[in-house]
């Protein structure tokens, strides 16, 4: 698996990954604006994508949206790249992910990874709540994946 980055320097890749993610998130038909993307590719197939959007540099906040075709994409090196971008390169102090209450798999992953969460009723419509997950730079820095031994254990 390789990591491919989109952005201003690679607009075709950026838009392709953003379309992929939007097409796999119910209710995301309008897509994203002002975003940077990261994709995980195996062979010639895009397995997963992450869209970084709604960045507010003044407060150090960025939102991530992600989608995948295969659970194998979430490896230690991918997680490291995924969160090093907002925390190391952009200097964010918190990352935000919005997840449907019905997405049990993603909820389990984020809970296990150390995200904090708040459930907001009806945020995805009259009959569906959304869970707002947050990960601070402090929690990210202390995560085992950022130690050499943690990287070996997670691989």
Where along the chain do its domains lie?
2-154
pTM of the model: 0.90
pLDDT of residue 151: 45
> CA angle, 149 as apex, 143 and 154 as ends, to 5°?
65
Confidence of residue 63 (pLDDT cuts 50, 70, 90): very high
State how far the Cα of 31 lies from the Cα of 16, in Å rounded to an integer. Answer: 11
Confidence of residue 29 (pLDDT cuts 50, 70, 90): confident
67 contact partners, CB below 8 Å, separation of at least 6: 20, 21, 23, 24, 25, 48, 49
pLDDT of residue 78: 93
State how far the Cα of 32 lies from the Cα of 24, in Å rounded to an integer. Answer: 13
Tell the CATH topology of 2-154: Aminopeptidase (3.40.630)
pLDDT of residue 92: 98
């Amino acid at each position: 698996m390789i990591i491919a980055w989109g952005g201003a320097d690679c607009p075709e890749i950026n838009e392709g990954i953003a379309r992929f993610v939007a097409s796999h998130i119910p209710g995301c038909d309008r897509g994203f604006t002002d975003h940077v993307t990261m994709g995980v590719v195996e062979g010639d197939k895009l397995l997963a994508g992450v869209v970084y959007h709604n960045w507010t540099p003044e407060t150090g906040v960025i939102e991530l949206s992600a989608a995948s075709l295969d659970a194998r994409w979430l490896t230690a090196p991918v997680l490291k790249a995924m969160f090093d971008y907002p925390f190391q390169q952009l200097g964010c102090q918190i990352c935000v992910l919005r997840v449907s209450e019905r997405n049990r798999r993603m909820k389990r992953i984020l809970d296990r990874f150390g995200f904090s969460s708040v459930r907001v009723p009806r945020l995805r419509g009259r009959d569906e709540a959304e869970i707002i997950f947050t990960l601070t730079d402090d929690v990210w820095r202390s995560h085992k994946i950022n130690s050499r031994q943690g990287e070996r254990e997670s691989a």
